[in-house]
Amino acid sequence: MIKLTSIINKVKASILIENLAEIENGQSEFDYKYFTGQISALLETIDTSERELIGAIEEATYEENSQQQRNNIQRYFEGARKQLHGVSKLLKRSQQRGDF
């Protein structure tokens, strides 16, 4: 079972390594590809976390209110997805206009 903390630590480590590489290379231009890749990684993490959490709830409880809990969790995760998709669209628009 993949643990959320290990995924988050891997994402943080990759961000740090890439940031250090950019500093060493003297790049100062905004890297749209990098940030859109990070958003994609976050979306994958959200999907994995949602599946794990829902699965754990289903294993741990057989009560009627567990369906309501699953629905609430799914709604919150969907909200996070929509927010990240919004950031992704903002970056694409900014790239097209050359904002950064």
* pLDDT tens, position by position, 63-79: 666 788 889 999 999 99
* Of 48, 42, 47, nearest in space to 91 by CA: 42
In this predicted model, what pLDDT tens digit does every residue of 20-39 receive, in sequence order?
565 556 554 889 999 999 99
Most distant pair of Cα atoms in the chain: their distance: 58
For tokens 């990240």, name the residue: 84
Residue 4 pLDDT more than 50? yes
Query: pTM for this one?
Result: 0.66
Question: How far, in Å, CA of 17 to CA of 59, rounded?
Answer: 38
When pLDDT is cut at 50, 70 and 90, the band that residue 59 belongs to is confident
Q: What share of the chain is helix, strand, coil (3-state, %, to 5)?
A: 85, 0, 15
When pLDDT is cut at 50, 70 and 90, the band that residue 9 belongs to is low
